[in-house]
Amino acid sequence: MSDRGWQYSLLQAIGKRTEVLAELYPRAYVVFLAGFALLGYACLLLFPLLVVAGMTGIYHALAASPGVAWLPLLVWVFVTGICGLASYRLFQCRPLLPRGVVLDRQQAPALFQLVDDTRAHYACPATDRIVITGEYQLDIVNTPVSIPPFWSTRSLLVGLPLLQCLSTTRFQCALARRLGQSSRRSNRLLNWLYTLRSTWPRYHEMAAGADPGHLVVRALFSIYAPVYTVLSTAAARLDELQADSYAMELFSDEDVLDAITTDVIYRLYLREKYWPAINKLRGQDAVTVPETQVRMAKILHAGLQAGTVKEWIERAMSAEQQWDDPWPLLVRRLENIGHAQALMNADTVEPAATGYLAISAGKLEVALAEPPAQIPQLPAWSLQVERLHQVLQSAIRNRLPRLRNLLHTSPSPGER
């Protein structure tokens, strides 16, 4: 987070006090955070609940003895009418999907297959869309279909710089930990709290407009979403440690150790060197910033030469935890997987982008320089139909090889 005056100072104070609470009283912290998470649902369901309360009030006013209570009746009719209109508009709101280049299977068949295979191992929910972004990231974002987050679209955000920086094994390990994290086989409460970190900001980022439903939701979550993000940072670190453990199911200790160290070093370099330089450049010449962001991978490789990797590892091992950083320290992540020393092998193989993208990285860079505008969600029923179509397609693809084998191995009429 950048310095934004008193808002930043307030969030910083909240974050530091929350860290103390999470360290001294971890169970009390999780219970408190769960209650605060439910407050977000209460904000979304406030007007519908007032409609129910208004209808109850109207009934009691009509059934009052000895006659109709006209004043309470008029008040409840007014409240029910206003809240009913607001609820109707709220249920029509569609949070925006994450921005980026949406891939189809023909553009990245190997990547889609890798996601399918990894997801099958961890038995995690299906991914509705794979989106290439210009950031160094690998995240799963749940975008609610409507105001009550009963259904969501799951977007797997894959940063092009990450694909260009990580080797195939490192990328597979990063994907395994992220999909394993979303499987919710254990620590469901922490994972739910972690998932809401990407859900609540979607309401705040809805398109601005004069619609009162949009205005109410955006106003509420412009305050609630940043506070929840700060309060849930300690919980996010615990869930990231669990994600590292999930990666150990598919990869060796050395591969996971190398992937964790590499990811930490890249993120540390971006935070301490890359983004400060970009912010300084933005103040001098904002026109060149988009091109510089797209070429993040080249800058990372140039900045992390073989002679400086050791220095960055030492810096990462002695770093202090930032109050707004959801990633645990490298020392803590290594202890979590049973290691004390970091390991970052030299890059001697092609990046993951070469093997997993059928579309050229150059075309993606051009598209990311001016990414498509964010689009609103589909209605709930359309999303369910689309998911059913994807499930049927996946089932057919999985059954076809088996059917072909049966046809080839079945005896001919003359052999029977």
Smallest CA-to-CA distance from 190 within 28, 352, 33 is with 33
CA 112 to chain centre: 18
Structure confidence at residue 124 as a pLDDT band (50, 70, 90) = confident
Query: What pLDDT score was predicted for residue 1?
Result: 44
Evaluate if residue 381 carries a pLDDT over 70. Answer: no
The Cα–Cα gap between 289 and 279 comes to: 9
Rg of the chain, C-alpha, whole Å: 25
pLDDT of amino acid 300: 82
| 223-279 pLDDT, tens digit each | 999 999 999 999 999 999 999 999 999 999 999 999 999 999 999 999 988 888 888
Q: How confident is the model at residue 294 (pLDDT cuts 50, 70, 90)?
A: low
Q: What is the pLDDT of residue 151?
A: 79
Which of the given ranges, 171-175, 197-201, 212-216, 321-325, has the highest pLDDT on average?
Answer: 171-175
Closest by CA to 193, choosing from 30, 28, 333, is: 30
Each residue of 188-227: pLDDT tens digit? 889 899 999 988 988 887 765 556 666 777 888 889 999 9
So what's the pLDDT on residue 28?
Answer: 94
Tell which wins on pLDDT, 305 or 201: 201
- The residue ranges of every structural domain in the chain are 101-201+233-370
Q: Which residue has the higher pLDDT, 348 or 17?
A: 17
Instruction: Give phi and psi for 133, each to the nearest 5.
Output: -120, 170
Which DSSP category does 182 fall into? T
Residue 180: is its pLDDT beyond 60? yes
**Whole-number pLDDT of residue 303:** 80
Q: Say if residue 155's pLDDT is above 80.
A: yes
Question: For the residues 153-175, what does the mean pLDDT come to?
Answer: 93
Q: Round to whole Å and give the CA distance between 133 and 158.
A: 6
Backbone angles phi, psi at 167, to 5 degrees: -75, 175
Q: What does DSSP assign to residue 351?
A: B
Distance CA 284, CA 287 (A): 9
| Biggest alpha carbon–alpha carbon distance for the chain | 93
Determine the Cα–Cα distance for residues 84 and 159; give it in Å rounded to an integer.
42
Residue found under tokens 């996971």: 256
Higher pLDDT, 144 or 255: 255
Percent of the chain with pLDDT over 70: 82
Beta carbons within 8 Å of 276's beta carbon, 6+ residues apart: none
**Residue 244 CA, distance from chain mean position:** 17
Handedness of CA 411, 412, 413, 416 (dihedral sign): negative
How does DSSP classify residue 96?
A: B
- Neighbour order of strands in the sheet with 129-133: 101-103, 129-133, 152-159, 138-144
* For the ranges 19-23, 296-300, 303-307, the one whose mean pLDDT is highest: 19-23
**Whole-number pLDDT of residue 363:** 82
| pLDDT reading at 321 higher than 80 | yes
Is the CA virtual torsion 133, 134, 140, 146 positive or negative? Answer: negative
- Which amino acid makes up residue 294? V
- On average, the pLDDT of the chain sits at 83
Model confidence over 10-61: pLDDT tens digits?
Answer: 899 999 999 999 999 999 999 999 999 999 998 888 888 889 999 998 988 8
- Ramachandran area for residue 304 (φ above 0: left; ψ -120 to 50: alpha; else beta): beta
Quick check: helix, strand or coil at residue 152? strand
User: In the structure encoding, which two tokens stand for residue 191, read together?
Assistant: 């994972």
